[in-house]
Amino acid sequence: MKGFLVKDFCMLAGQKKLFILYIFLMAFMSYTMGSSFIISYFPMIATLLAFSTITYDSFDNGMAFIMTMPGARKNYANSKYLLSLIMVALSWVAALVMQFVSMTIKKETFDTFDLLGQDLLYLPIFLIICSIIIPVVLKFGAEKGRIIMIIIFGIAALIVFAGIKLKQSNDLNIGFDVKAFISSIESISPFIIAAGLAAVALIIMFISMIISNSIMHKKEY
């Protein structure tokens, strides 16, 4: 697995100019569009970059060569999960630093403890997204996987949009008090919610790894 990770990071290092561009873009957007925006956008970009390594592996019949390496079928899928974890974690930390710097420069008032709790909610969400997308890309290939990726991010955006509209609605009647329900959730500590989401994310990732490894063992190259 170490060899696959080294290969992927060397591959990503070839895109260092793109990384630098992203960092400047994120710094600019965190200042102009709101500091909370970057904490969700930067990890999403990092996730896409991690998935791009599967696309590069497929070029020029590359997977057929990779599968000749010892333990390739056993370790290839697991290395992609580990790569995604590392990329999401590093990008989240970078985004967190940019967020605090931006809010400090703009002299915004914020509670560090509460803000950190809210930002932690994004980590398990992106891990769940990775757990859904990796087996899809391994099964159907990079092109179809990219389409499904866009659909998944679109659905996630719609869910967030629907949640905002539900919170803002004054006369919505669906059998229970929506605002009271949302208020009860908001009253829970974000650290508790993040811990619960993390447990769910780990279960989903474990199941996803089993599926991905099964796909790799059955797939012919």
* Sequence ranges of the domains in the chain: 2-218
Average model confidence (pLDDT) for the chain? 78
Mean pLDDT, residues 169-177: 54
Q: What is the pLDDT of residue 209?
A: 92
Which tokens belong to 139?
């099964």
pTM > 0.85: yes or no: no
Q: What is the pLDDT of residue 210?
A: 92
pLDDT of 176 strictly over 70: no
Mean pLDDT, residues 16-44: 73
Contact 215, 138 (CB under 8 A): yes
How far the first Cα of the chain sits from its last, in Å, is: 19
Mean pLDDT, residues 131-146: 80
Mean pLDDT, residues 36-45: 78
pLDDT of 173 strictly over 60: no
**CB-based burial of residue 194 (10 Å sphere; 0-12 exposed, 13-18 middle, 19+ buried)?**
buried
Q: What is the pLDDT of residues 75-129, one digit of tens each?
A: 888 889 999 899 889 888 888 888 888 777 777 777 777 778 888 888 888 888 8
Mean pLDDT, residues 53-75: 77
3-state secondary structure of 110: coil
Q: What are the angstrom distances between the C-alpha of 170 and each of 158, 177, 180, 206?
A: 20, 10, 11, 41
Closest CA to 26 of 118, 97, 132, 114: 97
Q: 31 pLDDT band (50/70/90 cuts)? A: low
